[in-house]
Amino acid sequence: MSLDKRLGQRFLPYGANYLDWSDMHELREAVGHGVLFRYQTESESIASRLERRVSQRLGAAHVLAVHNCTEALRLALISTRPRTGALVHIPAVTFVAVAGAVLSSGLVPVLVDVDDSLSLDATLLPQDTERVIVAHMEGTVAPLPEGVPYVVEDCAQALGGRFPDGRHAGTAGYAGTFSFHHNKVLTSGEGGLIVTGDPDAWATMRCYHDHGSARVPGRYPTWNADAHYGENFVTSEGVAAIQFQQFRHLDELLAGLERMHALAMDELPDRSGLEVLPRAPGDVKISLRFRCESRELRDTAVATLTERGIANWTLDKYFLPAHPVLAGRRSLYADGFPWSLAPAGLPLALSRDGFARTRDLLDRTLCVPLSPELPEQEQVLAVKAVRQALEAV
């Protein structure tokens, strides 16, 4: 692939650049065994090996592989054994799947405004808040609210991130969830993980994700006398094998992001009207984030970068107050479930200004992805291309 092409639109983001047939030892093993269901293998499943590897890499006590991150969020919420209609506070800026996970669990989302970093503003939470989902957006490791019994960390965009005290993102709250969608740090197309330090929560999650079964690997599923119902979120050996391969490259990928981010911070123009937003040491630096002085300047920068074949994106699509799922409060159930269970008189949106400041921040924010797979010299050229484009705005 030519350098010009590699500096352009990212058809293969992040982990996809590290997919390599010659490195797919686990996938070949799974196919060779002819058994792709994790609980039917004669020896330890690749899914179990993946969970152990993740546990060691992230310092997580318990890990469970599932189909996707939305299911992981649902498992985290259901394992708290809530009442239907219970409130779950979520950030006003995140992917709609977070709200979808709440609603499909029979719970009601409450939108909480964000701070300047676009992380949930914990100062807006009521004192009696029981359940909060904190999203580590764009690799930014957000602080967690204190005094809340169930804090779920959505780490879909922050695999490998760390808090200032050294703990990995996902391991500081009640549970942490991770995504392996195509556009994430590592990818298996789809796929998810949930981690927790609570052994009882993990046992509940494990049973629920397999029809309520207390399955013993290699045997037909069994149920305890006090079994509850569940669903089928069980991952396959094929997906787990690809994730295993991806984890071999996590440190390499994170180092490439760090290197290119450092290069960019030295090279990018210091110009009026365009601020490069800082990154904390523990953030996963998946992109350069810019805050423009106006929506018009942001849109001009987008047009210029796009015209020059430089990938970029905006964050408008993450503004949940305007999303039809939240704004319309529609339901496929005839009685409007679970919106119909929302406590009367309680606000389902918490903001000091009706989200006006947040809307303005999103209107002026621009992101340019980094390329961890490129050699350093090509990263230098890529950064210069971004700089030249922004200087021309």
Point out which residues pair with 319 in neighbouring strands: 93
Point out the catalytic residue in the list 184, 285, 317, 384: 184
Pick the CATH number of 250-314+356-391 from 3.90.220.20, 3.40.50.2300, 1.10.10.60, 3.90.1150.10: 3.90.1150.10
Buried b (16+ CB within 10 A) or exposed e, 305-330: beeeebbbbbbeebbbbebeebeeee
Please list the rounded mean pLDDT of every run of 10 residues in the chain (393 residues).
Answer: 45 82 96 94 94 98 98 98 97 98 98 97 97 97 98 98 98 98 94 97 96 85 91 97 97 97 90 91 96 97 95 96 95 96 92 98 96 94 94 92
Of 72, 83, 215, the residue nearest 155 (C-alpha) = 72
Rounded to two decimals, the pTM is: 0.95
Active site residue 384: no
Annotated domain spans of the chain: 14-248+319-348, 250-314+356-391
359 contact partners, CB below 8 Å, separation of at least 6:
319
Q: 14-248+319-348: which CATH architecture?
A: 3-Layer(aba) Sandwich (3.40)
With vertex at residue 315, the alpha carbon angle to CA 313 and CA 319, rounded to the nearest 5 degrees, is: 155
Position 218 scores a pLDDT of 74
Position 266 scores a pLDDT of 92
Whether the ω angle into residue 338 lies within 30 degrees of 0, i.e. cis, is yes
CB-based burial label for 143 (10 Å; 0-12, 13-18, 19+): middle
Helix (H) or strand (E) holding 88: strand 87-91
